[in-house]
Structure 1
Amino acid sequence: MAHQSPLISIPRKTTSDADWAGPIRSTIAHSFGEAPDSYAEEIAILQRCRQDAVRGASSDTTARDLLYKYFGQLELLELRFAEVKVSFAWHDAFTNKLTTQTSLAFEKASIIHLLASVLSSLAASQSRADPEGLKRAYFNCRATAGMLTYINENFLHAPSTDLSRDVVHILINLSLAQATEVFMEKLVDEKKAAGLIARTSNQLATMYNSLSDEIKEFTGKGVFDRSWMRLIEAKAKLFSSIAQYQKAKADSASGKYGVALVRYKKADEDAKDALRIAQGFAYQIISGSDPTLPHDAGTSIVEIAKVHAAVVEEDKKQAIKDNDLIYHDALPPEASLPAIDKLPPATPVVIQEVYQSPDVSKLIGPDIFARLIPLAVHESASVYSEEKAKLVRGEVERVELSEVEVRAALEHLGLPAAVNAWRRMADGDDADADVEVSSELVRIASDLQRSGSTDARVRNVETERQRVERELQELTAHLDNESRECERARSKHAPNFTQPPSGPQTASFRQTITANLSAVSNAATSDSQLAKLWAEIQPDMAVLQAGPDALRAQARDVALGKTQTVQPAPGESLLDFADEEQVRPQLDAAEADALRAAAKEAGDKLDRLSKVRTERDDVLKDLKAKIQSDDVSNLLLLNRRSSNVEPQLFAAELEKFRPYQSRLGSALTASNSLTSELEAIVQKVERGRGVRERNRGAKEKASRVKSWERRLQRAGATHGEVANGLARAEGFYASIEEVISDLRREIRSYVGARNTERNKMVSDIEMRNRIGGSVRSSVSPAASPPPPLPPQALSAQFGGLSLGSSHQSPPNAPSPPANPYDFSSLSLPSAFSTAPSPPKPYSAAKAPSPPAKPSYPSFPSGRTMSPYPAPPPPQPQRQYSSAYPTPSQYQAGNQAPYPPPPTGPAYPPTSGTTPYPPPTSGSAFPPPHTSNSAFPPPPPPPPSRSYPTTAGYSSSAPAPPSVPQHSYPGYTPPPPPPQRPTYAPYPPPPGQPQQSYGQPPQQYGQPQPPQQYGQPQPPQQYGQPPQQYGQPQQQYGGHRY
């Protein structure tokens, strides 16, 4: 066709911008309870999507795609924001009247109407000269009718004229008529039968006639343009003429010449009417003035009508001539002509079919608000997830049960090891075959071969413990030696020797040492238990530590009964093992061939079984992955409006996994079948005579090897416990070594400072004694020494001590031995001393009340303060958790666990002026380690002395307090010698912090209650004359000096 029939396109609606952001943000915040800002990007995408769709594009194809996408997103949006209120303003497509509504349904209807307009425009603009263009025009006309049908079926209350049911109905009929017209053009181009074309044309004529009657009413109202009515009327006459013409040709071909001639005449009349109406349409319309019509619509329809009228007129003349000259058939009346049948018109393409197209789904893209899922959809998705979980659990249970059955069957049949044994047996070389050793035992042997020597570690732990004990005993000896030297100096130089006893100051040292020795003693029990365990498993460990190769060699010896470590089973004898070596019947040729065939068949089935198991596991893995990735949230969202759809929907979705279930079922059936076949092969082989005789010996070998393996595995497990215990022991001794190192450094520092102070003090005392002796000899050379006191025993010295209470008790009768600490008989020449008075004897009836305690003089010798620093503050307590296992970890025997290492030395706090803390009343020295020191215990300490604690010495010492004079019966003290004025007393020492020394502790190892002393006296001031000899000695706890 030179010209194609013009098609009418629907005018387009226009709109202004709409604001989606505010209403959607409010809905997200109030209905979903989420932050609207997190969906700002999605809101912007939706806003841009609408702008692109309604503003128009450069081509109808692009506009159609954008409208497809926007309407698809609107459908998804309505599932979440059904109640959203957005102001939408649209102009009517025919009247251009503005309509504004906040309903989302109005927006959807307007978009569909706009999409129908674009589709009709695409249909009208297609070139139908080629088949593809004709197909596109046909589909677009039908799709236009489908879009408009969706509006009439889903939007009942039209807010505007273009969306009213009557107008939309007219547009639907127009689209379907034009689609039928395109279809008829295809029939004509393909030269189909005249009867088919006649029926199609008759249907078209009827449709256009009906449209012409319907459109007249709205044309008068100004809805449709008059050009539409003229074009529809011209097409109605044209297709009526075509129908009569094609039917006349059909009648003429069937020999109905009279009827055909009448139809030719009717067709000629309609063709002339169509040409007349078309010429009027062409005169009325201006080219390009109506956007709903092609620019050449008038010219095209006139040419089409003119050509058709000419063809009809020529054929009519020919038919008249032929009938007059040849046929002479009677002409029936026109009213009596049979009606032409009608071909059903084209059907609309529903919107669901359009959007199910893969191309359209791709255009729509993913849901913009996919992250925003309503709670109801979440609940439905959870139900579906549980259905999927049930399916997976069922399949997993089936697979696991099948795997357990297959493994149990293979282990019972001894496969695949039995197949290798059959091959060796058939070849006759199974005598020296390797024995299968369990993989776990091989792994243990490999690990032990790479590890170090455990025997050396056991010896190292023992050596380390002995070294720790020796070092602790040496530290105790250092403290004992220092204490002994201090007491020796005190007994020799009393009362001038003022160094305090070391007992209270070393109590923390001794406690730490004792605690460490106790911990080491307890650890020795664990060490011995470890050594015992190691001795028990050492022979078996030698086999394991030799490595896997030596282990396999040992296994062969065990299987053959060549090792002495293998114990025969109850009822067996080692003689049976030797006999077994001799009984090795050979298989005959037929039995050997049958055995080879059975081994080959069993090997093939084992390979096939392995492949089936692998495929089964792969299918199960794929099923799990498929179920994990399956998500029906979008599907549930789309079907949210439907009620009771979930069961049917879930059942349909679960059908996707049916192929995987079928494959798993086939794999399980195949594995069971193969297992049964293998069992039959094994039973057939074992019925053979030669195999049966050899199997009897093989079972005994396997029993011996299994017993040997179990013993080695127990040894390996015990070795693990021993190794763990050794690791804990090494950590224990490493920790205690740190404590000993700190303790050694502190004790050495303390002992060194005490020795330095003592040596200096002794040197000063000896110097003062020498100076005092020379002065006395020059002042009173004739002075006689005081008479010696009777000796007293040590028991008498401590007789007055109250061991049971804080009150003094009368002492026993004094013993004749002399008191080793009674220095009254000593003659110490001094410039400040007088002749001493004899002591007052004890009263047998009652012990005298202790008088005021005197203070002994001290002589300045430079610095008399302690030259060594105060003991360091207590170190943080070290906590050592015992890592050694409890006895239950080793065996039933009793075993002491490793104790935690004792804490480091803790020292009493010191002050800025007193480096030695005062001891508590009644304290006792802790007993020293009895197994360490070879020295005798030190002598008892001298009486307790109290020195003032002052910030410094006074430059002018006050006069000493008066000392009460005691009279002794039968003895008169001599008068004191005259003082020489040329000898002044020793000047007081420079101002230094005064030390305050506490009372010395009681005898080592004898804790005593607090000893009662007399009333405290004012301290003896430096620089005052010492107490004169001959005055009565004070009583201290029942002792007399």
Structure 2
Amino acid sequence: MASPPSRGVPQKVTSDVDFSSHLRSVIQRTYGEAPDHYTDEIHQLNRARQDALRGSAGSDVTARDLLYKYFGQLELLELRFPELRVPFPWNDAFTHVKIAQLSLAYEKASVIFNIGATLSSLAASSPRSSPEGLKRAFHSFRCAAGMFTYINDNFLHAPSTDLSREVVKVLVGLMSAQAIEVFIETMGPSAAVTKGAGLRAKLCMQASMAYANVIEEVKEWVTKNVFIREWSLLIQASQLTFFIFSGDLFQVKAKYFTSLAQYNRSLADSTSLKYGEALARLNIAEAAAKEALRLANAFAASFSTSSSASSLAPDSPVTLIELNKTHLGIVTEAKNKAQKDNDIVYNEVVPSEASLAPIDKGKDVAEPIAIHDVYATPEVQKIVGPDLFIKLVPLSVHESASMYSEEKAKVVRGEVERSDLADGELVAALEYMGLPASLERYRTGTSGQASLSDVGPQVRTWSEQLRRDEAQGRVDDSFRKLQQIKDNVTRQLDSVLQGLDQESRECEAMRVRFDHLWEQTPAAGLTKSYRQDLRSHKESLEQASHSDAQALGLWDGVKNDVALLCDPSGQALERAFIEAVGSASASSSQANLLDDPTGDEDEEEEIKKRVTSISDNLSKLNKVKKERHDVLKDLKERVQADDISHLLILNRKGSAALEPSLFATELDKFRAHQSRITATLQHQSSTLAEISADFKVISEGKKAREMQGRWGEAERHKRDLITRLGHAAQTYGEVRTALQKGLQFYGDLSELVEGLNNQVRSYLQERDGERSQMASSVSVKQRLEAPSSTTSPSLDRQFGAMDLGSRAGENPSWASSTPPAPPSHYSSPPPPAPPAIPAYPQHAYSSPTPAATSPYSNFPSSGAFSTTLAPQPPSQYSAYPSHYGHNPTSSPPPPPPPSQPYGASAPRPPSSSILPPPPQPVNYSGLPPPSQPVPYGQYSVPALPQHQQQQQYPSSAFGQSPAPPGSTPYQYGGPPPTSSYGGSQAPPQRPHYLPQGQPQPPSRPAY
């Protein structure tokens, strides 16, 4: 059977509105931001209004969604811009009068009215022949009723007729009545239904009463030309028909559902054996059906001339007439059958209509769906989309959001504190019992002590490091190299001292021979600086030897342990650990021989059971702890992501007293996390109690105490071995660092001693040459001044025995070059010029190279390697003056003519002019210049010879400039001796190798 026709509510019509100028002004004035930043958002708002309202969007799903979206954005817009004033023009849906207002509320009410009209059109157009169509129509009618209800409750002063309370109340009643009608249709055709006829009768009466309430209200507005006359006819003709507004009109029915209600109640009375009442209700139903058919014929007659006929389907009047005819035939047939049965069989009295009990309408089945429920669904939220002006948040919302954030932070802090406290209790309890490490002892017994023989990662690291260091250079080889360099330095110093002593003896011997005629400067004053340098170098060498002995003592103390660590195969190290642990087990085994060999098997079984229980509970504790941390992490993430700014904006117009309740409601979202954390805390407490009880039983047993003792001794032996190896590794590093510094020191000292050797060698050669010339001059002078008598043979023998000038031909191996002329105060007349003395080459001293950086820079430096540099005193040496009384670098005077004898009667020249000329100065300018003074970094070095730094030799003689003032000599192994450079210098303080608090090893080298 076809459904009754339905008509919808006409939509309101509007014209275009531009939000741009008004919104830009409000944004700049209220929020103080640049309106240009929100150009896109304003354009989207304008576009949303145009899509939803311009040209009266059609009654389909797309039009409904566009209206949903625009109204949602209007709600959000009003929360941010309540002071917005934009002229919104709307035409009345019934009178078509154009009314414009500046209020957003008017715009919202008009949009909601169109949403309700569109929903009614969707419901009316839904096909009711399928369950899906009936369900869609039922839901749309209820939503439409909710929209009109919202208008009626929130907009009290309507500017237009269609928004007035009276008109909107009619629309709400019509939507509810038609929703009931659709619900009745979902129950199936009434002729085929006998079961549940009573319920169906209640629903039909509910629809009939809904339409009856609308009839009077429609009549009043029909007389005012708001509703056209066809609406009233539809209501009267189909009093139980559901209608939906779509386009311009709404449809109503009246008498049809009254007849349908009485018919279904008669079926229920027949089932209850109330045949008289059933017959009476069929009579009432037949009368109502006839009246409905008459009104349907009247509606069909006016349909062709009605101005609204074009908005209905062409077959709507025919469908309505056929529906009522069919229903009238069913009711008439049922009444005739009931009348016949009652006359022949039942013979019950048929009561009058007034005496019949009224049909109860029952509970309302078509409650309007509120607009908040519609917009709360995910589908509508997705349609509305995000707030266009989400970046503009009012200050009051910011303040409320900050207060809510603080409430969330309190929740998180409380749970973090509880979790941290539980973790601390768990760690403290397990540490007190030594779990889970001590559990392995009880599980394996003495057989588990083999695990202690493992070398461990720390010792392996030491071993690998020492093997790498030994591969770069063995410590024993470094000691041998150190001793070789030291021996070479010692030999050179002894050779220099021997040369100076020999030269001094020869000078004094010549002074004894020639007495006052011998005017060569004594060697003591000239060699003072050399001897001071020698003494300084020897003292440094002695101190360094003491440091070497200390380093060697340290090395001898750890050599065997280092050999264990440096074993390439690692087997020696493993054997050492096995022996250390095995020695503890052996001693424990000897002690156990005195015990009863028959152990307590029951105690062992109890220990195994308790150990298994503790192990299981430890696994549970780990799971509980992990779960607590996971829940806490998830709680933090959810709190961080939680944002109720949109809710605060929606409730912005509410009072401040609503905030606490809103906060409490929102914080309840985290109640589940708090409950889960509480459960983990309770589970942890109970599990720890079980572990403590089991561990107490285990630890108090005799077997347990024995195992604890054996394990403790084995661990102690292993710990002692690791400590010893660690000390060996540390000492090895210190010794290696000391050796590197020592090699650097001896290398620098060797270069300095070599330089001193070259200086002394040059000095000795110079003195030998000077002595030879002076001996020749003195001999000539003696011959000139001696009487003519012949020298006695004894005196000749004495002179011959002195072997004058023998040093010139018997120089030691290290005297190979002619030095500059030594100083002399000789001023007696010179003898005839002797043969020219060859000029010996000079060897310039080059400074030592800087020391390499030690790879063990993290070890302390002390002693002779102290970084303190003493100030360099000035040299007491001055340039050697010529013993001939003239500048040695000047050209020698020309010798006298050979034709003139020494004893001629010519005037005797000054005594100095008859002396032989000094030797030609040797030009050393071709030698390479010396290197710059080497910065020896943090190592103290032996003192440079004073004459080597500041002796005023000509640059051509030695090829180098004097050392700059303030240069620092080496200091090696203790306080330096008094030097000719400027006095003694305080030795630097040498820190000890080992840090504070460690056991003191044998004395360390003070490098």
**TM class by shorter-chain length?**
0.5 to 0.7
Q: 2:124 touches 2:137 (CA, 8 Å); kept in 1?
A: yes
Q: 1:461 touches 1:729 (CA, 8 Å); kept in 2?
A: no
CA distance in 2, matches of 1:278, 1:710: 112
Q: 2:614 touches 2:695 (CA, 8 Å); kept in 1?
A: no
Give yes or no for the alignment of 1:230 onto 2:233.
yes
CA distance in 2, matches of 1:258, 1:615: 75
In the alignment, structure 1 segments of 5+ residues that lack a partner are 475-519, 563-575, 742-746, 748-816, 829-877, 904-923, 931-935, 945-970, 974-1002, 1009-1041
In structure 1, the partner of 2:214 is: 211
Q: 1:457 touches 1:726 (CA, 8 Å); kept in 2?
A: no
Give yes or no for the alignment of 1:354 onto 2:374.
yes
In structure 1, the partner of 2:661 is: 648
Displacement of 1:40 after TM fit? 4.4
Q: CA 1:624–1:527 in structure 2 vs 1: closer, same or farther (change >3 Å)?
A: farther
2:625 to 616, 625, 630: 616
Q: CA 1:37–1:943 in structure 2 vs 1: closer, same or farther (change >3 Å)?
A: farther
Give yes or no for the alignment of 1:448 onto 2:458.
no
Displacement of 1:586 after TM fit? 7.8
2:286 to 252, 268, 279: 268
CA distance in 2, matches of 1:578, 1:335: 117
Give yes or no for the alignment of 1:638 onto 2:658.
no
In structure 1, the partner of 2:66 is: 66
SS in 2 for 1:100: strand
SS in 1 for 2:450: coil
In structure 2, the partner of 1:171 is: 171
Displacement of 1:281 after TM fit? 1.1
Displacement of 1:313 after TM fit? 3.5
Q: CA 1:720–1:584 in structure 2 vs 1: closer, same or farther (change >3 Å)?
A: farther
Equivalent positions of 1:574-585 (< 5 A) are: 583=592
In the alignment, structure 2 segments of 5+ residues that lack a partner are 239-253, 493-540, 756-821, 834-849, 888-906, 910-946, 953-1007
Displacement of 1:170 after TM fit? 0.9
Give yes or no for the alignment of 1:927 onto 2:885.
no
Equivalent positions of 1:597-608 (< 5 A) are: 598-599=607-608, 601-603=610-612, 605-608=614-617
Give yes or no for the alignment of 1:627 onto 2:627.
no
Residues 83-127 of structure 1, C-alpha deviations (whole Å, 9 max, x = no match): 334443333222333333333222222221111111111111122
Give yes or no for the alignment of 1:939 onto 2:881.
yes
Give yes or no for the alignment of 1:281 onto 2:299.
yes
Residues 45-79 of structure 1, C-alpha deviations (whole Å, 9 max, x = no match): 44443333335667612222232233333333333
Q: CA 1:593–1:271 in structure 2 vs 1: closer, same or farther (change >3 Å)?
A: same
Residues 366-391 of structure 1, C-alpha deviations (whole Å, 9 max, x = no match): 44444444444444344444444444
CA distance in 1, matches of 2:473, 2:630: 51
Residues 205-250 of structure 1, C-alpha deviations (whole Å, 9 max, x = no match): 3322321211122223332222212111111222233334444455
SS in 1 for 2:11: coil
Residues 358-417 of structure 1, C-alpha deviations (whole Å, 9 max, x = no match): 333333344444444444444434444444444444444444444444444444444444
Equivalent positions of 1:207-606 (< 5 A) are: 207-235=210-238, 236-251=254-269, 260-286=278-304, 289-290=308-309, 293-321=312-340, 333-345=352-364, 346-425=366-445, 429=447, 433-435=450-452, 441-442=458-459, 444-445=461-462, 448=465, 451-453=468-470, 456=473, 543-544=564-565, 551-560=573-582, 583=592, 591=600, 594-595=603-604, 598-599=607-608, 601-603=610-612, 605-606=614-615
TM superposition score normalised by structure 2 = 0.61
Q: 2:823 touches 2:881 (CA, 8 Å); kept in 1?
A: no
In structure 2, the partner of 1:1011 is: none
Give yes or no for the alignment of 1:139 onto 2:139.
yes
SS in 2 for 1:7: coil
Displacement of 1:178 after TM fit? 1.0
Displacement of 1:149 after TM fit? 0.6
Residues 905-962 of structure 1, C-alpha deviations (whole Å, 9 max, x = no match): xxxxxxxxxxxxxxxxxxx99539x9xxxxx954399999xxxxxxxxxxxxxxxxxx
2:201 to 184, 194, 198: 198
Q: Report the residue type matching 2:629 in the other structure.
A: L
2:718 to 693, 698, 705: 705
In structure 2, the partner of 1:124 is: 124
Q: 1:445 touches 1:551 (CA, 8 Å); kept in 2?
A: no
SS in 1 for 2:18: coil
Q: 1:523 touches 1:897 (CA, 8 Å); kept in 2?
A: no
Q: 1:613 touches 1:671 (CA, 8 Å); kept in 2?
A: no
Displacement of 1:669 after TM fit? 4.0
Residues 982-1024 of structure 1, C-alpha deviations (whole Å, 9 max, x = no match): xxxxxxxxxxxxxxxxxxxxx999999xxxxxxxxxxxxxxxx
SS in 1 for 2:129: coil
In structure 2, the partner of 1:911 is: none
TM superposition score normalised by structure 1 = 0.59
CA RMSD of aligned residues (A): 5.6
Q: CA 1:392–1:357 in structure 2 vs 1: closer, same or farther (change >3 Å)?
A: same
Displacement of 1:435 after TM fit? 1.7
Q: CA 1:109–1:669 in structure 2 vs 1: closer, same or farther (change >3 Å)?
A: same
Q: CA 1:81–1:269 in structure 2 vs 1: closer, same or farther (change >3 Å)?
A: same
Displacement of 1:631 after TM fit? 1.1
SS in 2 for 1:99: strand
In structure 2, the partner of 1:766 is: none
CA distance in 2, matches of 1:530, 1:641: 87
CA distance in 1, matches of 2:474, 2:89: 92
Q: Report the residue type matching 2:298 in the other structure.
A: G
Q: 1:215 touches 1:224 (CA, 8 Å); kept in 2?
A: yes
Q: Report the residue type matching 1:238 in the other structure.
A: Y
CA distance in 1, matches of 2:93, 2:829: 140
In structure 2, the partner of 1:1025 is: none
Q: CA 1:438–1:604 in structure 2 vs 1: closer, same or farther (change >3 Å)?
A: farther
Q: Report the residue type matching 2:323 in the other structure.
A: I
CA distance in 1, matches of 2:396, 2:735: 61
In structure 2, the partner of 1:149 is: 149
Equivalent positions of 1:83-102 (< 5 A) are: 83-102=83-102
Q: CA 1:688–1:319 in structure 2 vs 1: closer, same or farther (change >3 Å)?
A: closer
Displacement of 1:612 after TM fit? 3.2
Q: CA 1:720–1:45 in structure 2 vs 1: closer, same or farther (change >3 Å)?
A: farther
CA distance in 2, matches of 1:548, 1:679: 42
SS in 2 for 1:224: coil
Displacement of 1:302 after TM fit? 1.4
CA distance in 2, matches of 1:620, 1:596: 37
SS in 2 for 1:89: strand
Q: CA 1:603–1:314 in structure 2 vs 1: closer, same or farther (change >3 Å)?
A: closer
Displacement of 1:20 after TM fit? 3.8
Q: 1:199 touches 1:342 (CA, 8 Å); kept in 2?
A: yes
Q: Report the residue type matching 1:606 in the other structure.
A: S
Q: CA 1:527–1:196 in structure 2 vs 1: closer, same or farther (change >3 Å)?
A: farther
Q: CA 1:185–1:577 in structure 2 vs 1: closer, same or farther (change >3 Å)?
A: closer
CA distance in 2, matches of 1:210, 1:464: 122
CA distance in 2, matches of 1:309, 1:596: 94
Bigger shift: 652-661 or 624-633? 652-661
Aligned length: 745
Q: CA 1:530–1:632 in structure 2 vs 1: closer, same or farther (change >3 Å)?
A: farther
SS in 1 for 2:452: coil
Q: CA 1:405–1:321 in structure 2 vs 1: closer, same or farther (change >3 Å)?
A: closer
Which structure has greater helix proportion? Answer: 2
Displacement of 1:32 after TM fit? 3.7
SS in 2 for 1:4: coil
Q: CA 1:418–1:328 in structure 2 vs 1: closer, same or farther (change >3 Å)?
A: closer
In structure 1, the partner of 2:110 is: 110
CA distance in 1, matches of 2:574, 2:112: 84
Residues 544-592 of structure 1, C-alpha deviations (whole Å, 9 max, x = no match): 5559875554333334559xxxxxxxxxxxxx98687564568856635
